[in-house]
Amino acid sequence: MNQKRKIRVLVAKPGLDGHERGAHVVAYGLRDAGFEVIYTGLRQTTEQIVNAAIQEDVDVIGLSILSGAHVSLTRKVLDELKNQKAEDIMVIVGGIVPSEDIRDLKEMGVREVFTAGTPISAISDFIESAIPAD
Amino acid sequence: MKNSWDKLIQGIREKDIRAMARLITRVENREDGWKTAMTEIYPLTGKARVFGITGSPGAGKSTLTCEIARELADRGHTVGIIAVDPSSPFSGGALLGDRLRMQQIFTIKEIYIRSMATRGMLGGLCQAARDVIRIMDAFGKDVILIETVGVGQDEIEIVKTADRVMVVCIPGMGDGIQAIKAGVMEIADLYVINKADKPGADEVEADIQAMLSLSSDLECVAPPVLQTSALKKQGILELVSALLENPADTKKQKVKEEIRIKEEILSLMEREVFRQVRSVWENEGSLLDSVSQVMQKTSDPYTIVKQMLLNHKHR
Ligand SMILES: Nc1nc2c(ncn2[C@@H]2O[C@H](COP(=O)(O)OP(=O)(O)OP(=O)(O)O)[C@@H](O)[C@H]2O)c(=O)[nH]1
Ligand SMILES: [Mg+2]
């Protein structure tokens, strides 16, 4: 009965921008790639995101940010994860991110950044290779 | 192993949310040792009251669950929520979207929400749901709400694991209660007409009352029918009070509990027997042999099963 372990992903949109399309596309795409995706909707506070991630025991948090405030929003999420001793949960970021910010985000601890237009398969392949199969 | 079972069980005794979340994952994944873990958890359970919430897609179950949980927390209860959504039969993935309607309670510390996919576990889902309920119970949640969409047999089976089931209907579907699949109405201990801010709620209520007067035998108390608007937060206080009210018919409750325990034992047994038989067949390679016999038309599936069972008995 060695059922393959399901990878769980939280797709969250922090910040105030109201563009949900990208997050939707990613959520559905990851479902179709076989992940269990928990979608929590727009305008999430840092605390809401981190609490949801912990309660759902996700392997990955995917932040979809189109507001331009990706660095500060992401930093807040990473800080709150540390605060709640959950920094082992992998964080990835998707959105419109200039390359110099990508470097900053990775230095902060973001595992990967996917700029707008990245095919979903690139995201799902990355998650699968980054999460130990147990 | 990083998070041994013992450590996780100790964690839930200490009210560590991450330990509970991890424990649920591992039990849900049926990792080796899950049954022993559940055996240890079992004595810690039995205090929680479990309410099932079901009804047609989009009836407002999640919005209502959110409001009920908030009211319960206000009254000093600690609440666990299990929100079940279907897995895709094609990819095995799932989009679990019930949380979308529960955002405002993510940060209430008395409330723990867990989304759960059906994972195509024919029948196994019920057991997994029972296990998750027990883990929350052991953690100390005193009310557990389980939301499932009332479409398939599996979903109906899950809410049956609850002490009380509330069926959510909505106005404006033309044929009111017809919209809900047969088999769902029968399990209701309580009817809720949500979206009562829209026209037609009274008609639905009349339909339900009419149905109840036709079907209920005079001996049992008819289930209450309530109107709510989860969106406008109306009727929630009354609903929560009705849920918490002690069931009028304790004898009926006892019968229900007996049935539940029996079903659980049988379903655990069924899976265990199947698993054991199958692993023997697979290890000995006789399953593959049998398949080729059927393909070569030297035997048929009925005979094969009969022979295999006989062999198993004589081992
Ligand atoms: N007018 C009105 N709309 C409501 C009410 N409750 C929920 N809704 C809306 O109905 C829609 C569906 O609500 P959900 O809570 O997601 O319904 P659900 O039954 O959980 O849906 P599924 O889980 O997808 O089956 C949302 O747009 C809600 O805002 C209500 O009392 N009145
Ligand atoms: Mg729902």
The model's pLDDT over A3-56, given as tens digits with 9 standing for 90+, comes to: 467 999 999 988 777 778 888 999 999 999 999 999 988 888 999 999 999 999
User: Is B93 an interface residue toward A (CB < 8 Å)?
Assistant: yes
- According to the model, what pLDDT value does residue B156 have? 72
pLDDT band at residue B303 under the 50/70/90 scheme: very high
In this prediction, residues B228-248 reach a mean pLDDT of 92
Q: What is the pTM of this model?
A: 0.92
Domain B45-248: CATH architecture, name and number where available? 3-Layer(aba) Sandwich (3.40)
Concatenating the DSSP letter of every residue in B11-30 gives HHHTT-HHHHHHHHHHHHTT
Residue B21 has its nearest CB partner, among A47, A48, A56, at A56
**275-294 of B, contacting A, C-beta below 8 A:** 275
Residue A68 placed within a domain: yes
On whether any CB of chain B is under 8 Å from the CB of A38, the answer is yes
Contact status, residue B91 vs residue B119, Cβ threshold 8 Å: no
CATH number at residue A65: 3.40.50.280
Q: Flag if B95 and A45 touch (Cβ within 8 Å).
A: no
Q: Looking at the predicted structure, is the pLDDT value of residue A2 above 50? A: no
Residue A64 covered by a domain = yes
Does the residue A97 lie in any domain? Answer: yes
Alpha carbon distance B221, B211 (integer Å): 14
- Using the predicted structure, report yes or no on whether residue B135 has a pLDDT greater than 60: yes
B246 compared with B219, residue with greater pLDDT? B246
What domain count does chain A have?
1
Domain boundaries, chain B: 1-44, 45-248, 266-313
Lowest mean pLDDT among B184-193, B196-205, B261-270: B184-193
Percentage of chain A with pLDDT > 70? 96
Q: Average pLDDT for residues A71-91, to the nearest whole number?
A: 95
Output the pLDDT for position A1.
32
The pLDDT tens digits for B256-270 are 889 889 989 998 998
Domain that holds residue A77: 8-129
Average pLDDT over residues B9-13: 96
| A43, part of any domain | yes
Distance (angstroms) between ligand 1 centre and the Cα of B234 equals 14
Cα separation, B269 vs A42, in Å, equals: 45
Task: Report the 10 Å Cβ neighbour count for A7.
Answer: 21
CA B88 to chain centre: 18
Q: Is residue A36 part of a domain?
A: yes
